[in-house]
Amino acid sequence: MLLPAPNGDSDQLPDLSFVSKPLYKIFRGNVNARIQRLLGEALAQKYSSGTGKSSITSASRTFPNTHNADDFFNRLRAELFRVREWNEKTTLTSFELFNEKGNMSERQTAIVGDFIRLSMAGAGKSDWAKVIEIVDEAGEAILTIKPSYNPTENESDKNTTSHFFTSTSTKSFCLEKNNAVVSFYVIELSEKANTGKTGNILETARNVAASMVGPYFGIQQGEWKTLCINFLRFTDQERNRGL
């Protein structure tokens, strides 16, 4: 079953960027090296100014033994890098994978240098991000993206950022196994609204307007919570096996 939140009200772990330092350390002690560093950076930004916003969204599932956790983790680590399959796990956002030349990728699995088009319902336009790092190691798998220019435009200006956030921000999708617990995190760092280096005036206006509307951030966080929970859902076959 999914681990309950500390207050017992939800099967979703809380957004750790809003919890106290002592409670945060409880979670930090149960993650792998790379993910631990990302969580530490997010926490540091929470208590500093001028670095942009950070957030952590997560969900976890516990198993009766490490063997079952290993099987589950190994299935999910392949799904993590098949970006198009994320479309089955969110409600308002769609994802499409493009290669480094800006053409729709024939591959199902993302690699460093690929682009991802994120389209959120009601956002006014699609946002573009580039895959800048992939980690696939024992106990942890991570895909990190950062806002980028639109690679599909005939004369793409690589100095522009076709995304709501500036190019200094990053978003890491992390899968972690610690003993008999499998967790999924979305860790966002250095997020600042992109109101300068956009491709056109309309895009700038969209970003300015969205940055002034608090619910936009809440909707986005809600989408990542949905993604975290749905990534950890059992398949019918796994249910039949009694995992």
Distances from the Cα of 152 to the Cαs of 38, 155, 165, 192, 218, in angstroms?
A: 31, 8, 19, 24, 29
User: In the prediction, which pLDDT does 16 show?
Assistant: 39
Helix (H, G, I), strand (E, B) or coil at 23: helix
Going along the chain from its start, the domains and CATH numbers come out as 16-232 (3.30.530.20)
152 contacts 188 by C-beta, under 8 angstroms:
no
The full DSSP string for 95-134 is EEEE-TTSSBPS-SS--TT-EEEEEETTSSS-EEEEEEEE
Helix (H, G, I), strand (E, B) or coil at 46: helix
User: In the prediction, which pLDDT does 234 show?
Assistant: 82
Question: What's the rounded Cα separation, in Å, for the pair 117 and 114?
Answer: 10
User: In the prediction, which pLDDT does 220 show?
Assistant: 76
Q: Give 10-residue mean pLDDT values along the chain (243 residues).
A: 36 38 41 84 84 89 95 95 96 95 96 95 82 95 94 78 81 96 95 64 53 54 92 75 63
User: In the prediction, which pLDDT does 80 show?
Assistant: 97
123 contacts 164 by C-beta, under 8 angstroms:
yes
